[in-house]
Amino acid sequence: MITIRDRHTRGHTDMGWLDSRHSFSFGEYRDPDHMGFGPLRVINDDRVAPGAGFGAHSHADMEIISYVLEGALEHKDSLGNGSVIVPGDVQRMSAGTGVTHSEYNASKTEPVHFLQIWIVPEARGIAPGYEQKRFPQEELEGRLRLIADRRGGDGAVTVHQDVAIHAGELSEGERFTHEFAQGRRGWLHVARGIVHLNGDELREGDGAKIEGERAIELDTDHRAEILLFDLK
């Protein structure tokens, strides 16, 4: 069964410098029907104005993944890490027993558009950690590229949970499938463009809950960039 999460029904936070859409309950947006999906707790679709950002704030017991679509995001944390994340980069921060970080638009002239994803870890109180890897565009084109999983396989970042996150970019006329092992389910997020999921059209910001399906088929008549979460 596939249940579409329409982009227009997501939560919305507008702070002037921040325009954020929430696929699941977050902050002041509370929706008992969308509190997460399995260990997937947050998908925030954030646009941050030039020079603005999130000042130092703390997290614990959460796997936090940042995926930049346009622009550049500057990260600093209490573990001593500092970096600028651009499209093609995937950053994972394990908050564990506690970490403080800040995130700012690295540009004074251009906005940044990124997805921030939270995954509930399989255990509480793990040691905080940080990882960032780059995935060239050619590795994402016309395929589902593993970018995060429990083992860090195939060059992916490591998350402390039984999930596999794939990213892919489809061009007009391209099509591919993904098979789910017995007992697993999925969540599809359309980051950009238009894609068909088993024949249903989804557009930028749409999501889909996938349950009881052994395989899905994705194709597009346009272009699309997607994230697919394979979950226990």
Instruction: Write out pLDDT tens, residues 112-122.
Output: 999 999 999 99
Evaluate if residue 47 carries a pLDDT over 90. yes
Average pLDDT value for residue range 31-48: 97
Average pLDDT value for residue range 126-141: 94
Considering the chain, what is the average pLDDT of its residues? 96
- Name the pairing type of β-strands 215-219 and 175-179: antiparallel
Evaluate if residue 166 carries a pLDDT over 90. yes
Evaluate if residue 75 carries a pLDDT over 90. yes
- The 3-class SS string of the chain reads CEEEECHHHCEEEECCCEEEEECCCECCECCCCCCCECCEEEEEEEEECCCCEEEEEEECCCEEEEEEEECCEEEEECCCCEEEECCCEEEEEECCCCEEEEEEECCCCCCEEEEEEEECCCCCCCCCEEEEEECCHHHCECCCEEEEECCCHHHCEECCCCEEEEEEEECCCCEEEEECCCCCEEEEEEEEEEEEECCEEEECCCEEEECCCCEEEEECCCCEEEEEEEEC
Specify the amino acid at residue 53: G
Evaluate if residue 182 carries a pLDDT over 90. yes
192's CB contacts (< 8 A; 6+ apart) are 69, 204, 223, 224, 225
pLDDT at 99: 96
Q: Is the alpha carbon torsion for 134, 210, 195, 7 positive or negative?
A: negative
pLDDT level of residue 153 (50, 70, 90 thresholds): confident
pLDDT at 139: 93
> How many CA atoms within 13 Å lie on the side-chain side of 152?
11
pLDDT level of residue 163 (50, 70, 90 thresholds): very high
What are the structure tokens assigned to 76, written together? 């600093």
Evaluate if residue 69 carries a pLDDT over 90. yes
Evaluate if residue 174 carries a pLDDT over 90. yes
d(CA 128, CA 145): 26
pTM over cut 0.85: yes
Which domains occur in the chain, in start order?
10-135 (2.60.120.10), 138-231 (2.60.120.10)
d(CA 226, CA 207): 10
Evaluate if residue 101 carries a pLDDT over 90. yes
Average pLDDT value for residue range 161-190: 96
d(CA 29, CA 10): 9
